[in-house]
Amino acid sequence: MVEREDLLKHLSGMSDFERAVLMATFEIPRGKVSTYKRIAEMVGKPRAYRAVGNVLHKNPLAPVIPCHRVVRSDGRIVGETREEVEARRRLLEEEGVPVVGNRVKISGEIIY
42 a catalytic residue? no
Residues 6+ apart with CB under 8 A from 38: 111, 112
Euclidean distance between CA atoms 36 and 96, whole angstroms: 20
What's the longest Cα–Cα distance across the chain? 38
Q: One of 67, 70, 71, 77 is an active-site residue; which one?
A: 67
Catalytic residues: 67
